[in-house]
Amino acid sequence: MPSRKMLTAIAAPAVLTLASLTPVLGASPTSTASAAPTSTPGPRPNLVFIMADDLGWSDLSTGRVNGGFGNDFNETPQLDRLAQEGQSFTEAYASVQCSPTRTALHTGQYATRPTNNVYAVGPVTGQGGDPLLGVTQGRLAEDGRTAIPVGYTTLGETLQHAGYATGYSGKFHVTASAAEIVSSHGFDENWGGSQASNATHYFATNNRFNDSVSPSLDQFAQDYTQEYVDQNIAPYSHGVTDAQLDALVGTDKHVTDAQTDAALDFIDRSKDQPFFAFVSEFAPHFPVDDAEARPDLLAKYHAKPAGEDPAKPSYGALVEGVDQSVARIVDYLETTPDPRNGGKPLADNTLVIFTSDNGGEEDPVIAGAYNGPLREDKGFKYEGGVRVPWIVWSDNDDLVRGGGRSNDTIVNSTDLYPTLASYARAQLPAGVPLDGIDLKPAFSKGTRINREHFHHLPGYVRFGGALESSPFSSIRDGRWKLYYNYADNSFALYDLTKDIGETSDLAAERPGLARQLGEQLIAWLDETDAPLATLRAGQPTRVIPDFTGTTYANGEVTRHHRDTITIAAGQQVPFVLPRP
């Protein structure tokens, strides 16, 4: 669809510090104070949040979201367009796996908070051969998967209280049951969301999806008809023949199309009031093979020659399917009159955000993502595991200052809650610490906000039996990223401006900087009461003699001068920061 906006030159953004953000949130970014709604003219905007599952940082064909590392095999014309017309955040973070990301989105909290306490999909306690014993995570569903506490006031509930219609489409995962999504997590309606971690088969069979998708989506599972193909697939197809499109008629519905149908149905029925549509794509999470891709797109990518980037036809087809989902939603917003806004198109008063839930899974057998020059992939603490694309778009410059701007504000999943609450003029829950910041100044004005990003894993993450992450804490501040490894009390420091692939550890060369960042990290662990892994039974007692410096353990920061620190089995293994 051709752009209806004139592109403007990319302007250098103004810089906003966290100190100047304090009045926006009512207190510090982790304040327990309740923020009063601000008065803004005009109807409150609609909110659409779209999240892909396991999409890599360099999987979009545009280079605007990933520092110029656009994919030369996958095609994502709609997302490219949103990046060209909207604003891209090149330093956006999720978590090592989807569960902690999703919990942070719904709670506005880092995993270290006791009302979050979700660090991974499954247990992080580790195996018998691991030197440390990871923590027991918070609320666990019957199958051992992590779940959002039922009594917590989620983002959906906060928007409901502000008068928004709230609808959820697709994967939810961090719940004990599909029913809780509506009864406890703030959504009026849910289609497809459940405690399942992914769609184990992407197509419906006999007009029903399998039990990895909630039966609530089955009402949209009917086989493709000619009318459906002509109206909902053909207008958004590129490089696919009419014969390939017509061959879809009478075949099984793909879950990406079904959940888009559900989201559009909700938006259409809810447009008389402000709405929040959370569209959580199942794709392109594994399984990724020819049996899971829509046939027309699969044929396109099988016929396409490979470029320099990894090329897997089934993965490219799933990614473009997500792009078509976004295209359908945006097209509806641009062509449907808004009854709350004088009949202007809905797009004139709607904020759209697109991102992914963690770094892409690069295993070519089961997946096929690409994180570009970033180190490692999903499950790992490094940039490839946690950095994600993040695009914001609106047809209203007052909602999003676009023109293809790139913004290097460090953003993370906890920011969604206060940001959408700010746009909705919603009252934040009293007495609840929110770790995110209001990104509205960045979205609406292009402002660059200075802030740090933290990550903490008090345990182990494995995939297929292989160790991906062991206990660590990290901080990103400006160009620098520091890791602390609890197993051996070691630090690693990287300059992401010069070394985005994290190949050169500068901790030994820059001890003063490493210590400064370490002090910031300890302060954050203390402020959020972060739990730590303990020394596993059977491990020899650890002794740190004549230690001068700072430690964090058991929720306390301790200053030492020539102390002997002893860590026995069952005790927390501290964050240890020596003083030079």
pLDDT for 160: 98
pLDDT for 42: 81
Residue 433's nearest CA partner among 557, 519, 527 is 527
User: Containing H/E element for 462?
Assistant: strand 461-463
Please, where are the H alpha helices in 336-462? 383-386, 416-424, 440-445
| Distance from C-alpha of 180 to C-alpha of 267, rounded to nearest angstrom | 21
pLDDT for 37: 47
Backbone angles phi, psi at 427, to 5 degrees: -80, 125
Tokens of 519: 């002090």
Handedness of CA 222, 227, 230, 236 (dihedral sign): negative
User: CB neighbours (10 Å) of residue 332?
Assistant: 18
Using DSSP bridges, classify how beta strands 350-356 and 46-52 pair: parallel, antiparallel or unpaired.
parallel
| Distance from C-alpha of 185 to C-alpha of 151, rounded to nearest angstrom | 9
pLDDT for 36: 45
Cα 212 to Cα 173, 178, 222, 239, distances in angstroms: 10, 11, 17, 32
493 near 477, Cβ under 8 Å?
A: no
Q: Which domains does the chain have, with CATH numbers?
A: 16-124+145-456 (3.40.720.10), 471-578 (3.30.1120.10)
Residue 11's nearest CA partner among 495, 358, 402, 463 is 402
How is the chain split among helix, strand and coil, in percent rounded to 5?
25, 20, 50
Tokens of 516: 């400064």
pLDDT for 197: 94
151 near 553, Cβ under 8 Å?
A: no
91 near 412, Cβ under 8 Å?
A: no
Backbone angles phi, psi at 431, to 5 degrees: 75, 15
Backbone angles phi, psi at 410, to 5 degrees: -80, 120
Instruction: Note the Cα 295 to chain centre separation in Å.
Output: 28
| Distance from C-alpha of 442 to C-alpha of 423, rounded to nearest angstrom | 12
65 near 367, Cβ under 8 Å?
A: no
- The conformational region for residue 265 under phi > 0 = left, psi -120 to 50 = alpha, else beta, is alpha
Q: What single string gives the DSSP state of each residue in 22-47?
A: HHHHTSSTT--SPPPPPP-SSPPPEE
Active-site residue numbers? 98, 173
The amino acid present at 529, given as its one-letter code, is D
User: CB neighbours (10 Å) of residue 445?
Assistant: 15
213 near 196, Cβ under 8 Å?
A: yes
Residue 200's nearest CA partner among 385, 320, 366, 364 is 366
427 near 35, Cβ under 8 Å?
A: yes
User: Containing H/E element for 298?
Assistant: helix 295-302
pLDDT for 550: 98
| Distance from C-alpha of 78 to C-alpha of 86, rounded to nearest angstrom | 12
181 near 172, Cβ under 8 Å?
A: yes
**Terminal Cα-to-Cα distance of the chain (whole angstroms):** 60
Cα 131 to Cα 76, 188, 569, distances in angstroms: 44, 46, 10
pLDDT for 580: 85
Radius of gyration for the alpha carbons in the chain, expressed in angstroms and rounded: 23
Peptide bond preceding 287 in cis form (omega within 30 of 0): yes
Q: Which residues pair with 575 in a beta bridge?
A: 552
Backbone angles phi, psi at 334, to 5 degrees: -80, -20
Residue 241's nearest CA partner among 297, 294, 293 is 297
Digit-by-digit pLDDT tens for the chain (580 residues) are 333 333 333 333 444 444 333 333 333 334 333 444 444 468 999 999 999 999 999 999 999 999 999 999 999 999 999 999 999 999 999 999 999 999 999 999 999 999 999 999 999 999 999 999 999 998 776 667 789 999 999 999 999 999 999 999 999 999 999 999 999 999 999 999 999 999 999 999 999 999 999 999 999 999 999 999 999 999 999 999 999 999 999 999 999 999 999 999 999 999 999 999 999 999 999 999 999 999 999 999 999 999 999 999 999 999 999 999 999 999 999 999 999 999 999 999 999 999 999 999 999 999 999 999 999 999 999 999 999 999 999 999 999 999 999 999 999 999 999 999 999 999 999 999 999 999 999 999 999 999 999 999 999 999 999 999 999 999 999 999 999 999 999 999 999 999 999 999 999 999 999 999 999 999 999 999 999 999 999 999 999 999 999 999 999 999 999 999 999 999 999 999 999 8
DSSP state for residue 231 in the 8-state scheme: I
The size of the chain, in residues, is 580
Tokens of 28: 């510090």
